[in-house]
Amino acid sequence: MSQAEFAVNFFVALFALIDPIGNVPLFAAATGGMKWQERAWIALYLSLFVLGFLTFFYFTGLSLLEFFGISLPAFRIAGGVILFLMGLEMARDDFSAKFSAPVDGESGTGRAFVRMRFERMIVPFAMPLLIGPGAISTVIIYASQAREFGLQGAAVGVGVISAVALATLLSFLATPILTRILGRIGLTVVVRVLGLILCALAIQFILAGLAESTLGFIRPGVAHPY
């Protein structure tokens, strides 16, 4: 496999797992009522978080999980539980209220307000919604494949992660367009439907984790249906 094929395959897999375009309605719901400048800063912070966190796992990988004694199946199960709770909130229409409701110490404007909102969105929006067990495991797998290219492979991998982070930023910056097209009712419907999908995806993460950590407890066709 050439470096070009490695880069294309890595980008396609990582972009599909993070799915920045599919997460635009969730971002719109989480930042409802905010000004465009504030929404843009949060989009930038989230993109930098994706870049920094995935790059960190690209170079540390399984060593970090081994240091804490955490297996990848356990990480999948934990991520599935968090995603399931988030999906329930979205299905009950509590998702946007969780981020838009003011908390003690929050001011209404300014960069400090944006940073506080971003801190509230790290879990569960940035992780595990954007950066889930699938994205982390994919980064680790491609990092092992990049070793045959040496330093150039490491540089290509970081470049791919940067491209995905940039695509995430551009997708979230386009949120006002989608908001105008769908309207408040349309966004509510989309968020609730995605909440149901997230609950099913979370159960799939848990089933995959149980299948990988047990012998014959979960049928392979159920844990990995496609």
105 backbone φψ class: left, alpha, beta (φ>0; ψ -120 to 50): left
The whole-number pLDDT of residue 165 equals: 95
The whole-number pLDDT of residue 95 equals: 55
Give 105: exposed, middle or buried? Use CB within 10 Å, 0-12, 13-18, 19+. Answer: exposed
Q: What distance in Å separates the CA atoms of residue 40 and residue 52, rounded to the nearest whole number? A: 18
Nearest one of 175, 39, 30 to 97, comparing CA atoms:
30
Q: Which two tokens stand for residue 54?
A: 């995935």
The whole-number pLDDT of residue 104 equals: 47
- Cβ atoms of 53 and 60 closer than 8 Å: no
The residue among 113 and 159 whose pLDDT is bigger is 159
Q: Quick one: pLDDT band at residue 109, thresholds 50, 70, 90?
A: low
- Cβ atoms of 131 and 51 closer than 8 Å: no
Q: Quick one: pLDDT band at residue 110, thresholds 50, 70, 90?
A: low
- The full set of domain ranges for the chain reads 3-223
C-beta pairs of 93-99 under 8 Å, 24+ apart in sequence: 93/188, 93/191, 93/192, 95/26, 95/29, 95/30, 95/191, 95/195, 96/29, 96/30, 96/32, 96/191, 99/29, 99/30, 99/31, 99/125
Question: Which pTM value belongs to this model?
Answer: 0.69
- Cα torsion 210, 215, 216, 220 to 10°: value is 60
pLDDT, tens digit, for every residue of 166-190? 999 999 998 888 777 777 677 677 7
Q: What whole-number percentage of the chain has pLDDT above 90?
A: 16
Nearest one of 14, 4, 9, 8 to 161, comparing CA atoms:
14
Nearest one of 189, 209, 193 to 80, comparing CA atoms:
209
The residue among 124 and 85 whose pLDDT is bigger is 85
pLDDT, tens digit, for every residue of 30-46? 787 788 888 899 999 99
Least confident among 63-67, 89-93, 153-157, 214-218: 89-93
The residue among 50 and 133 whose pLDDT is bigger is 50
pLDDT, tens digit, for every residue of 69-93? 887 788 778 877 877 877 787 777 6
Q: What distance in Å separates the CA atoms of residue 116 and residue 139, rounded to the nearest whole number? A: 29
Q: Quick one: pLDDT band at residue 129, thresholds 50, 70, 90?
A: confident
